[in-house]
Chain A
Amino acid sequence: MIRISDLVKTFDDTCAADHISLEIPEGILFGLLGTNGAGKTTLLRLTAGILEADSGEILVDGEPAGASEKVFYLPDTPYYFPNATIEQMAGFYGRQYREMDTEGVRYMAESLNLDMRQPIRTFSKGMKRQAFLILALCARTKYLLCDEVFDGLDPIASEVMKNLFRQEMRERKFTAVVASHRLPELEDICDNIAILHKGGVVTAGDMRMKAENIWKFQCVFHDADDRVGLEKELDVVRCHTDVNFVTLIVRGDREEIRTELYKRRPVFVAEVPMSLEEIFIAEMEVKGYDIRKVLH
């Protein structure tokens, strides 16, 4: 488990980590979501031991963060030696990480049509990211920290990389922390997500669990008078009205909400499942954070 307690890191006058406290459980894909400058990369670099915190601490399995074989950090633009090939980089990482699966690198590279002996500098951006994700996954560390790993990739490459994650997660239970500034990149692979804003954590945890008490209903009323007072009676998070067609996101007991809606004799009432995006919107709007910045 990665336990972050009251972490503070400032760069001159800019507070990149403002008293962050966070727990990242083992065996999950944890997403770090936030706009540019929110402090995602700083938090990852602090966790990887590249930066040192001004105050607070980061414990990785109870030990202070630092040079450790348990953690692999994959930055948004990975460094490689001049003219190095995947094979050479795998050899280099193999000398640093005892669990490195060099054969696994070869297998994955072949399955993704990446030439092991071609200099990495000749690869496209997507190929480079795939190559380094392969290296990162095959290092077989307990914790994998990825910074903007899907950024700028086309949907196919992005899906390929997500499949690599899923495949590796099935094989061994490791913990991955993936930072991104776009929710769609995280929503289909991350179990838990923390939203960072101006160096602080806005919210963190399993969003679906948090949405247990939030419901989405679509209703059609005979006329506008029928829905008057609805927002007073219910804890409405969001309400969208299109003539007599109303979409409500409401917090509260499901049956009580239904009862209240049926009291107004609607033409039609239906409960619809919520996407992660809608859950975020609901969660964040309550906290006054404009989630739309990270939606698309």
Chain B
Amino acid sequence: MTSAKCFISWVRESGRGHLAACAGWGTAVLYGILSLTRLSFDTENTFFGIGSVELWRGCAALGIVMALLEFFYLLQPAKLDFYYSLPVSRKTIFWSRYVHGIIHGAVPAVLVMAACGIYQASIDTSFDPYTGSYTGKSIFVCAAVFFLFYHIGIASLTVCGNIVSAVLAGAVLTAGFPLLIQGACIPLSENYFDAYYRIPLTELLNSVLSPLDLASGLFGRELYLKPNILAFSPDISLILAVFVWILALFAVFAFAQKARQTERVGRAFVLLPAERVVETWVTFLCGILVFSFFTELLTGTAGAGNRPGTAAMSAAGAAAVCVGVHCLMEGILKKPGAKLMRRRWQLAGTGAAAVCAGAAFAVGAPAYDGWFPEDAQAVGISINGLDMNYDTYREAVYGDTYVIDGQLAQYELSGEGKAALLGWLEDVVRGSGDVQTAGMETTGMQPEEVQTSETQSEETSAEITRATVCYRMENGTCRYRSYPVTETQLAAFSAVYNTEEYKTAAYPAVKLSDVSEDRFTWRDGVKDRDLPLNADEKEALLEAWREDISSLEMEELSAVLPCGFVRIRSSTDGSASDLPVYPFFEKTCGLLERYGTDTGNALADYTIDSVEVLESTPVPANVSGGVHLSVYDKTDEIAELAQKLVPDELDIQPLLCPLEHTGDVEAVVTDEETNSLIRVDCVMKRE
């Protein structure tokens, strides 16, 4: 009874309730109507395929719903008896429903997306080149996500005997690995590894082992711009991962549908191996999560000093939770009358695995922190506060990886700079154990507080900032570390800073060429002035700046702020490059003076009408106030303040040349040329 004819007739039989067809076609048609309507209004921000958050969530939900509608009979004893008593093999019933679910789940989505692609191509000329590729890729990822969650649903229903356990099994499948990675691996790394910044393998595992992350990754997570979205292709690792997931789950339910015991329907699991696997996995997961939680808690209260004690207490907590969770699950799963500890060896193994996995982070910490690759192909470096403005510095200090990753890419050295950097890093790594962790990351200090402590203390072994490093290895992999940096080590960084390679990375404008048609502007932080230069003068100015940069040394940056910037706006693509100009850039300043620009013009040289200082202090909840605005408009007050104020735009070396950021200061300046007021964000010089 497994002939094709019978199979097809059973595919038809599967649709008896029409619920699956309604769900599949209804969702697709609804989505299609909404997409077409939105496209008719806005083709720039509407994406019917890749880039649509609603679509991947819809595909995932549809996959689960279709699995439930098609395979819910596996949890219904009366229906099972009915089907299994018919002269049709179980295989035929199961696989016909599988095919039926695909027909009514994936096919409507494919048709609707094809229709959306054709429609957008007809109304949006910028979409034309992407009509085939974008629509095709969208159909592919949509089908992949649908299949992923369809299979998760089927696997859960096939190994479980009731809806509650099936839902929980689906949740474990979906959230188990992300919980392990985000809830245990990353926190344990952060707490035990002093040099932890990020581990690409962990991130890769999280993106491929978390079905939700995998689905959003396939749909181009974090892409917002139309050109990027239309040209987006999912990473090959994600495509492979989704195939592995789909095939693995397929193998699970293909085996389970044959081996499942009908008489166990109604109990938690119909397959004993599934019961043991889930029990082991959940116990292990709870154990390691508690290990991580205790570590976080104890590190927060006792500090990072007593790591062996923290690890021991966390291990004890994890072991206790393993026993508790195991007994709880046994209490739920075991047959009446069976002993609670009937699987004590399983418990012992699981508990030991959870404890060992957690302890491995503590034990492996010295090896992780002390690892240093002398043969790295390239090294990226980002020192918080160096060559970044104050706002970026704050973001970096508060752990904004976007900022640090941007810097690591910008400051990737592979030549003479790399050799100097590796030499410097070797000293940093060797000395990192002796550094007093007085940094922001560990103490929660504000950047300005760090600077204060720095100036107030003569302790040069205290951490003043952190350096994040990306070692690019010969096999193309990247390894990241974050090291504490002392004042002495920062000073030693000049050996790296003064190399041509580093300066090229720090001042990318040195690579500009043929600027004769570009627009030059002088910016002193208060107002912009066009520089009316001819082509030769522009080239001469850029060359002079290059020479000044070439002779620039890091030590000079700690003494003085830039007096302004020369902004070069490209005549070809409109991009802007800022050339910071310091007072000691003799050649550049000389040329600018010759071209009629006063580089010595400071804020105090402008006519300041008033200065407003907004200070805010924390107040308890439900209490108003805490904000204090002071307006200084008397001549003597303004004169005094003007000597202390610097335009915020010039604060580009907050680590080397720190300024006071205790309040929001705004100077109201009169522009006498245009007889208008300019509001300038300012910071105070330090006393």
A contact residues vs B (CB 8 Å cutoff): 11-13, 45, 48-52, 66-69, 71-73, 75, 77-79, 81-82, 92, 95-97
Give B74-90 as 1s and 0s: 1 = Cβ < 8 Å from A's Cβ atoms. Answer: 00001111101111111
Residues of chain A within 8 A (CB-CB) of B263 are 11, 51
List residues of B (4-62) whose CB comes within 8 Å of A's CBs: 9, 13, 16-17
- Asked if residues B16 and A73 are in contact (CB atoms below 8 Å), the reply is no
* Contacts A/B (CB < 8 Å), 20 sampled: A13-B335, A49-B84, A50-B81, A51-B263, A52-B261, A52-B262, A67-B1, A67-B84, A67-B86, A67-B87, A67-B90, A71-B85, A71-B87, A72-B85, A77-B78, A79-B79, A79-B81, A81-B17, A95-B9, A96-B88
In the complex, which of the residues B1, B16, B87 has the most CB atoms of chain A within 10 Å of its own CB atom? B87
Cα–Cα distance between A73 and B86 once the two chains are bound (Å): 8
Residues of chain B within 8 A (CB-CB) of A78 are 82
The smallest beta-carbon distance between B183 and chain A, in angstroms, is 36
Cα–Cα distance between A3 and B86 once the two chains are bound (Å): 20
Give B85-97 as 1s and 0s: 1 = Cβ < 8 Å from A's Cβ atoms. Answer: 1111110000000
- Asked if residues A97 and B87 are in contact (CB atoms below 8 Å), the reply is yes
Count, A-B residue pairs, CB within 8 A: 54
Cα–Cα distance between A75 and B76 once the two chains are bound (Å): 14
- Asked if residues A49 and B262 are in contact (CB atoms below 8 Å), the reply is no
Interface residue B337 (Cβ < 8 Å from any Cβ of A) = yes
Residues of chain B within 8 A (CB-CB) of A75 are 78, 81-82, 85
Residues of chain A within 8 A (CB-CB) of B337 are 13
- What is the interface size of chain B, counting residues whose CB is below 8 A from a CB of the partner? 22
Q: What DSSP secondary structure best describes chain A's contact surface?
A: loop
4 extra interface residue pairs, beta carbon distance < 8 Å, beyond A11-B263, A75-B78, A79-B78: A12-B335, A67-B87, A69-B1, A96-B88
The smallest beta-carbon distance between A249 and chain B, in angstroms, is 41
Cα–Cα distance between A81 and B78 once the two chains are bound (Å): 11
Residues of chain A within 8 A (CB-CB) of B262 are 50-52
Cα–Cα distance between A96 and B84 once the two chains are bound (Å): 12
Cα–Cα distance between A135 and B90 once the two chains are bound (Å): 22
The smallest beta-carbon distance between A221 and chain B, in angstroms, is 56
Residues of chain B within 8 A (CB-CB) of A69 are 1, 87
Residues of chain B within 8 A (CB-CB) of A95 are 9, 13
Cα–Cα distance between A51 and B335 once the two chains are bound (Å): 20
Residues of chain B within 8 A (CB-CB) of A92 are 13
Measured CB to CB, the nearest residue on chain A to B76 is A79
In the complex, which of the residues A48, A50, A77, A97 has the most CB atoms of chain B within 10 Å of its own CB atom? A50
Cα–Cα distance between A66 and B339 once the two chains are bound (Å): 36
Cα–Cα distance between A45 and B78 once the two chains are bound (Å): 12
- Asked if residues B17 and A73 are in contact (CB atoms below 8 Å), the reply is no
Residues of chain B within 8 A (CB-CB) of A48 are 84-85
The smallest beta-carbon distance between A83 and chain B, in angstroms, is 10
- Asked if residues A67 and B88 are in contact (CB atoms below 8 Å), the reply is yes
The smallest beta-carbon distance between B85 and chain A, in angstroms, is 4
List residues of B (79-120) whose CB comes within 8 Å of A's CBs: 79-82, 84-90
Residues of chain A within 8 A (CB-CB) of B78 are 75, 77, 79
Cα–Cα distance between A69 and B6 once the two chains are bound (Å): 13
Residues of chain B within 8 A (CB-CB) of A67 are 1, 84, 86-90
- Asked if residues A73 and B85 are in contact (CB atoms below 8 Å), the reply is yes
Residues of chain A within 8 A (CB-CB) of B86 are 67, 96
The smallest beta-carbon distance between A70 and chain B, in angstroms, is 8
| Choice from B82, B89, B335 contacting A79 with Cβ under 8 Å | B82
- Asked if residues B82 and A96 are in contact (CB atoms below 8 Å), the reply is no
Cα–Cα distance between A253 and B1 once the two chains are bound (Å): 55
Cα–Cα distance between A67 and B9 once the two chains are bound (Å): 16
Residues of chain B within 8 A (CB-CB) of A79 are 78-79, 81-82
Cα–Cα distance between A82 and B262 once the two chains are bound (Å): 22
Cα–Cα distance between A46 and B530 once the two chains are bound (Å): 94
Residues of chain A within 8 A (CB-CB) of B261 are 52
Residues of chain B within 8 A (CB-CB) of A11 are 263
Residues of chain A within 8 A (CB-CB) of B16 are 81
| Choice from A50, A52, A77, A82 contacting B85 with Cβ under 8 Å | A50
Cα–Cα distance between A181 and B153 once the two chains are bound (Å): 41
Cα–Cα distance between A12 and B86 once the two chains are bound (Å): 27
Residues of chain A within 8 A (CB-CB) of B85 are 48-50, 71-73, 75
Residues of chain B within 8 A (CB-CB) of A45 are 81
Measured CB to CB, the nearest residue on chain B to A68 is B87
Cα–Cα distance between A51 and B89 once the two chains are bound (Å): 13
Residues of chain A within 8 A (CB-CB) of B80 are 50
Cα–Cα distance between A95 and B263 once the two chains are bound (Å): 27
Cα–Cα distance between A69 and B87 once the two chains are bound (Å): 5
Measured CB to CB, the nearest residue on chain A to B334 is A12
Cα–Cα distance between A5 and B82 once the two chains are bound (Å): 25
List residues of B (233-272) whose CB comes within 8 Å of A's CBs: 261-263
The smallest beta-carbon distance between B332 and chain A, in angstroms, is 15
Residues of chain B within 8 A (CB-CB) of A73 are 81, 85
- Asked if residues B17 and A82 are in contact (CB atoms below 8 Å), the reply is yes
Give B305-335 as 1s and 0s: 1 = Cβ < 8 Å from A's Cβ atoms. Answer: 0000000000000000000000000000001
Pairs A-B, 7 closest by C-beta atoms: A79-B82, A73-B85, A69-B87, A50-B84, A79-B78, A48-B85, A12-B335
Measured CB to CB, the nearest residue on chain A to B78 is A79
Residues of chain A within 8 A (CB-CB) of B79 are 79
Cα–Cα distance between A11 and B87 once the two chains are bound (Å): 25
Cα–Cα distance between A78 and B85 once the two chains are bound (Å): 11
List residues of B (401-448) whose CB comes within 8 Å of A's CBs: none
Residues of chain A within 8 A (CB-CB) of B81 are 45, 50, 73, 75, 79
Residues of chain B within 8 A (CB-CB) of A52 are 261-262
Cα–Cα distance between A78 and B82 once the two chains are bound (Å): 8
Residues of chain A within 8 A (CB-CB) of B84 are 48-50, 67
Residues of chain B within 8 A (CB-CB) of A82 are 17
Measured CB to CB, the nearest residue on chain A to B92 is A67
Residues of chain A within 8 A (CB-CB) of B13 are 92, 95
Residues of chain A within 8 A (CB-CB) of B1 are 67, 69
The smallest beta-carbon distance between B52 and chain A, in angstroms, is 36
Cα–Cα distance between A208 and B84 once the two chains are bound (Å): 36
Measured CB to CB, the nearest residue on chain A to B86 is A96
Cα–Cα distance between A72 and B85 once the two chains are bound (Å): 7
The smallest beta-carbon distance between B592 and chain A, in angstroms, is 86
The smallest beta-carbon distance between A233 and chain B, in angstroms, is 51
Cα–Cα distance between A52 and B270 once the two chains are bound (Å): 14
Residues of chain A within 8 A (CB-CB) of B89 are 66-67
